[in-house]
């Protein structure tokens, strides 16, 4: 088990009372599909999206997504058109290949339950998809609250989803670990005043994300070491 602390002083003033979970690439092993089908969706409309570009789409809300697509393809790049095609392609694939849970999620949720620490999902995905994925894995009932960024004016990397997650648990953001795999989500959690913990999926922390981190864990089970 491996855990690396980067800014331990951030958590020194108050105990951890809640854990806020991203979903894609963190609870469920779906980020590999997002990156694949963003590229395939772009190709359907005559654009070439590189693997590096597809990684930058992870976890973005609509406003940030519009800006990112325009930075790739200019004003002719229609984020909503590409996203609709990506969803269509990805859902067709997942109808034949159900999602799988990421390692350690069961152990971490059990540890939270034993300690009486609240858990909420804070995902950019639509509520229906969150419920479907988590229910299929038998995990939905293990979270006290479900928050969807699609129901907010500002998605990640704005702080809104993590502010909402803490609020729904009745906690201050500084009392909450925020578990993320993607840079946009880590920035969202940092801006909200949470304690951002990266569990890498498709990329490792770099010079941009390292200053945002409270800690980095190799798996979700490693996060147990941070609990009081």
- pLDDT tens-digit readout, 76-113: 999 999 999 999 999 999 889 889 999 999 999 999 99
Asked whether the beta carbons of 161 and 137 are under 8 A apart, the reply is: no
Pairing type for strands 145-148 and 215-217 reads: unpaired
pLDDT tens digit sequence for 175-206: 999 999 999 999 999 999 999 999 999 888 99
Residues annotated catalytic, as ranges:
22, 24
Q: Where are the domains of the chain?
A: 3-29+100-226, 31-94
Find residue 3's DSSP bridge partners: 217
**Tokens for 122?**
């804070």
* CA 17 to each of CA 117, 169, 177, 190, 223: distance values in angstroms, whole numbers, following the listed order: 5, 9, 8, 17, 14
pLDDT of residue 203: 85
Architecture of the CATH domain 31-94: Orthogonal Bundle (1.10)
pLDDT of residue 130: 96
* Average pLDDT over all residues of the chain: 94
Buried b (16+ CB within 10 A) or exposed e, 31-48: bebbbbbbbbbbeeeebe
Say what the pTM is: 0.88
Q: Quick check: do 3-29+100-226 and 31-94 share a fold?
A: no
Residue 1, pLDDT > 70, answer no
Can you tell me which residue has the tokens 């946009």?
Answer: 184
Task: State the DSSP H helix or E strand holding residue 217, giving kind and residue range, or none if neither.
Answer: strand 215-217
Class of domain 3-29+100-226: alpha beta
pLDDT tens digit sequence for 28-77: 998 889 899 999 999 999 999 999 999 899 878 888 999 999 999 999 99
Query: What DSSP letter does each residue of 66-101 carry, written as one string?
Result: HHHHHHHH-TT--HHHHHHHHHHHHHHHHTTS---B
pLDDT tens digit sequence for 129-160: 999 999 999 999 999 999 999 999 899 999 99
């Amino acid at each position: 088990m491996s855990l690396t602390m980067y800014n331990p002083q951030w958590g020194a003033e108050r105990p951890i009372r809640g854990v806020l979970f991203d979903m894609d690439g963190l609870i469920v092993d779906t980020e590999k599909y997002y990156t694949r089908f963003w590229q395939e969706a772009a190709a359907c409309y005559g654009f070439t999206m590189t693997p590096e570009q597809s990684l930058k789409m992870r976890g973005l809300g609509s406003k940030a997504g519009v800006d990112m697509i325009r930075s790739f393809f200019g004003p002719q790049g229609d984020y909503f058109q590409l996203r609709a095609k990506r969803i269509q392609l990805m859902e067709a694939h997942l109808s034949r290949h159900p999602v799988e849970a990421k390692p350690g999620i069961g152990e971490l949720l059990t540890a939270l339950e034993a300690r009486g620490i609240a858990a909420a999902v804070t995902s950019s995905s639509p509520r229906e998809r969150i419920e479907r994925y988590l229910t299929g894995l038998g995990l939905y009932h293990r979270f006290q609250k479900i928050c969807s960024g699609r129901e907010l004016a500002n998605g990640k990397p704005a702080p809104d989803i993590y502010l909402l997650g803490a609020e729904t648990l009745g906690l201050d953001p500084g009392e909450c670990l925020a578990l993320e795999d993607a840079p946009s989500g880590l920035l969202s959690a940092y801006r909200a005043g949470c304690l951002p913990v990266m569990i890498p999926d498709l990329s490792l922390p770099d010079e941009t994300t390292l200053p945002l981190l409270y800690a980095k864990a190799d798996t979700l089970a490693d996060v147990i070491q941070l609990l009081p």
